[in-house]
Structure 1
Amino acid sequence: MFDVVVVGGGPCGATAAQDLARSGHKVAMLDRDGRIKPCGGAIPPRLIRDFDIPDSQIVARVGTARMISPSGRAVDIAIENGFVGMVDREHFDEFLRRRATEAGATRLTGTYVGVNRDGVRPKVVYRDKASGETVEIETRLIIGADGARSNVARTEVPGGSTIPYVIAYHEIIKAPPATEIYDPARCDVVYDGRISPDFYGWVFPHGETASVGMGTGIDGVDLKRATAALRAASGLAECETIRREGAPIPLKPLDRWDNGRDVVLAGDAAGVVAPSSGEGIYYAMVGGQVAASACSAMLSTGRASDLKLARRLFMRDHKTVFRVLASMQNAYYRSDDRRERFVSLCHDLDVQRLTFEAYMNKALVRARPMAHLRIGLKNLAHLTGLVHAEYT
């Protein structure tokens, strides 16, 4: 019998399993293996620092972010006093799983089927990948870290299947040498309704490869055609395609993360991907941490109410950032005119500094009240149409 079974071995599940194993708990990590999530792969310095990520996992260091508007206007934002690290999820996720195993977690490879509650304690049921047989493992607690459209959330937590999401699609390509259009030390973010009518497209360097993709929550959008158009516009149409991946990305945290008894959700399964940016790796790993803390608390006290700590701890630190980003997405992703104004606003040095300070450190910057005031006034001017898009 295990203390905790973690369903899912991505950054969230692997982090939760590692933390629990280090705390002395008997933990199993169940992962399907072979699945690579579509992801730009950007990780901020705080993640590298907080989760002790070695240089060997950083495939590129980005020093500039380029915002591109529907009209083709480009605003380059230099990342001052640091860099954004890029990882390839194919290797990064496996690194985290190995680290969890080295900490003492038992790694299981198979597909989650459900929870058998016929006995005193729940049993996680899964189909073993190697044998094809159905296996049951008894546990005291379960962490659902099995991504958006989580089967654990859908079957075990009330409201667990109601997360709004966008579908993300990307193609990993063999990166060309630096050109006038492609820079291996720059992330390009494309706000253009022809690429995505409600989200954005991206070109993110990964060293010898690059991730080119887009996301949308609107049915009927041809993701492959949109990505082909993005590749053509970025001078990458002729590059070799290594792999193609697609998956849903949630955009709003669930109101409830536990079932009040023995299951708690984490990461994408709980909806903790940042609105506007779609950033998920950092928040997934933090979600794994707080889920592990909640389980440890319940294993110690026996109180099922301690599972609520996961959501409470996460929202205490990140609720305001999520609200601000959701407001920004709702305000500026609605039309190409609004996207044009958003990129225009990115010319502003106050916006650039505060945005990247918040991104790098994962907290809103409160030390510059006048800068916040100026940004608020400029934001209002753009949203009400008092200024033209070319003005900042």
Structure 2
Amino acid sequence: MRHTDVLVVGGGPTGMTVAGDLARAGRSVTVLERRPGINPSSRAFATMARTLELLDSRELAEGLLADANRAQEVSLFGGARLDLRHLRSRYRYAMITPQTTVDTALGGYAKTQGADIRRGIEVVGVCHDEDGVIVTAQPKNEPGQRTTWHASYLVAADGAHSTVRRLLAIGFPGRTVLSSVVLADVKLRNGPGGGLTLGSTAGEFGFLAPYGRHETDGSWHRAMVWDRGHQVSDRAPVGDSEVADVLRRAMGTDFGVLEIGSLSRFHCDERQVERYRHGRVFLAGDAAHVHSPMGGQGMNTGIQDAANLAWKLAAVLGGAPDCVLDTYHDERHPIGRRVLRQSGLMARGITLSPRIARGARDLVAPWLFRLPAVRDAVAGSFAGTGLRYPRRSGHHRLAGTRGTEIPLTAQRLTVVQRTPGFVLVRERGADRPDEPRLLHAERADRGPAVLVRPDGYLAWAGSSVDGTWRDALREWTGG
């Protein structure tokens, strides 16, 4: 039997973020991924601002942005536009690049930090009790070479069709919301421009995201198309003409499809597990929640699940109270539910069929999205920068909010957090407390001192002089 602190099942962006963060914190972690390599049919293409902040704290953002496109707005129905240029973030745009690129970067991060990554291995058995988790795995399609693993904790990050979830008989309630959606890489003679572009009629929709791949005779885009009148099985083949025809009708113009690369047909569900924690087993990413692809939330939500969970596992392995792990569900389940709701609303809005309803939508939406309060709330929700976690009783009103935009006298917070741990940001001009277990920084403005968790959210705010930050630190670390 082999032993590890944490076993991660699934080597996508969620699993690799968990693995890299745990290894960076000094914990032993093993990743079991059934595919021999990175999944070439990954659907995500938009990395939002909050995820870019997390990638920056792992020294990955700049490298990814170097070869990516940046979309500052999203065109919607009726001429409405979702403007990302007012986000309270260093990244006032969505990074447009294939998920495989992000997968590669996070896989490299996990490996560099010391995670043990084993590909071509599938899980065939899981059992857990108060003492740990035992997992039986084997090389894919080779049932005679089974290996048993023992871990203190198991993270199921193995996707919408999670093997771990099935083996433990964990329900995944929900329903299908769209079927026969086609995803394709298309080379266009005359692309629509630099932003994310949506077109829809009563019978179809098309969506285009520009990649950074430009050639002399055109530019490459990730395209998503749907035709109400052509609802077929996911297994039905997709022809080049289907993509070009639906795209032309949905957009109301012909961008000139020169070439089509990868093609896939899929359906999308709205589903979420009732609990993200099952004893010593945790579900994250698509294993915990799936939803409409509208808004580009899937990969982003999974990476943020991982960033929330990994430091808590590391803390409990280091002596923090077990109840810290319960906060993973408490904080992330409501976020997952919100993502399902907002992505679903967008999907239903795009696919409206009745003429009166579409007319009302196209009349109201452009006006609504021009209101700064609405614009900023919706953009912040989709980008992840406007989300917060519940504030614990008796804590400062800032507790649970994101600390990334606090101005510091030296490096920005995401650079400080490239070393794992809690960060005590003291008031401007205040003396540095004697606490070697913490990372330290100083505010450049007149705000209060804050204690920043490893995932970038505030655990405490107040006066650094009274020492109450030590109580908050003890709540989370037990030390």
Shared fold (TM-score, shorter chain, > 0.5) = yes
Distance 2:201 2:185 in 1: 21
Residue 293 of structure 1 deviates from its aligned partner by 3.8
Distance 1:269 1:222 in 2: 23
Residue 77 of structure 1 deviates from its aligned partner by 4.6
Q: Which moved more, 1:201-210 or 1:116-125?
A: 116-125
CA shift in 2, pair 1:174/1:330, >3 Å: closer
Whether 1:22 aligns to 2:34 is no
Unaligned runs of 5+ in 2: 87-91, 214-219, 389-479
Unaligned runs of 5+ in 1: 366-392
The residue that corresponds to 1:240 in the other structure is 259
Of 153, 159, 168, 1:156 maps to: 168
Q: Is the 8 A contact 1:75 1:346 kept in 2?
A: yes
Of 142, 152, 160, 2:154 maps to: 142
Whether 1:170 aligns to 2:172 is no
Q: Is the 8 A contact 1:156 1:263 kept in 2?
A: no
Distance 1:304 1:91 in 2: 35
Q: Which moved more, 1:276-285 or 1:305-314?
A: 305-314
SS in 2 for 1:4: strand
- After superposition, residues 1-392 of structure 1 pair within 5 angstroms as 1-31=3-33, 32=35, 33-52=37-56, 53-58=60-65, 59-68=68-77, 73-81=78-86, 82-117=92-127, 122-128=133-139, 134-140=145-151, 141-159=153-171, 161-165=172-176, 166=178, 168-176=181-189, 179=190, 182-195=191-204, 201-208=206-213, 209-214=220-225, 220-221=231-232, 224=238, 227-233=243-249, 234=251, 235-236=254-255, 238-247=257-266, 249-260=268-279, 262-271=280-289, 273=291, 277=295, 279-300=297-318, 307-315=325-333, 323=341, 326=344, 333-337=351-355, 338-348=357-367, 349-350=370-371, 351-363=374-386
Distance 2:108 2:135 in 1: 22
CA shift in 2, pair 1:206/1:125, >3 Å: farther
Percent identical among aligned pairs is: 20
Can you list the C-alpha shifts for 1:83-140, whole angstroms capped at 9, x where unaligned? Answer: 2211211222111111111111111101423225499854433343698864424132
Taking structure 2 as the reference length, what is the TM-score of the superposition? 0.63
Q: Is the 8 A contact 1:148 1:249 kept in 2?
A: no
Distance 2:267 2:312 in 1: 26
For the pair shown, the structure with the greater C-alpha radius of gyration is: 2
Can you list the C-alpha shifts for 1:225-276, whole angstroms capped at 9, x where unaligned? Answer: 764433334535632122123455443432112322x211001110055785
Can you list the C-alpha shifts for 1:303-323, whole angstroms capped at 9, x where unaligned? Answer: 776543322121466655655
Q: Is the 8 A contact 1:249 1:268 kept in 2?
A: no
SS in 1 for 2:272: coil
Distance 1:345 1:90 in 2: 37
Q: Is the 8 A contact 2:187 2:257 kept in 1?
A: no
CA shift in 2, pair 1:332/1:213, >3 Å: closer
Residue 169 of structure 1 deviates from its aligned partner by 3.3
SS in 1 for 2:278: coil
Give the letter aligned to residue 182 of structure 2.
Answer: Y
Give the letter aligned to residue 284 of structure 1.
Answer: G
Instruction: Give the aligned length.
Output: 351
Distance 1:332 1:231 in 2: 14
Can you list the C-alpha shifts for 1:20-65, whole angstroms capped at 9, x where unaligned? Answer: 1112111111221242344351122222122214333231111332
CA shift in 2, pair 1:37/1:142, >3 Å: farther
Can you list the C-alpha shifts for 1:167-186, whole angstroms capped at 9, x where unaligned? Answer: 5530112344xx3xx23412
Give the letter aligned to residue 285 of structure 2.
Answer: G
Residue 142 of structure 1 deviates from its aligned partner by 1.4
Structure with the higher helix share, 1 or 2: 1
Taking structure 1 as the reference length, what is the TM-score of the superposition? 0.75
Distance 1:354 1:276 in 2: 17
Q: Is the 8 A contact 1:17 1:100 kept in 2?
A: yes
Distance 1:237 1:134 in 2: 52
Q: Is the 8 A contact 1:125 1:134 kept in 2?
A: no
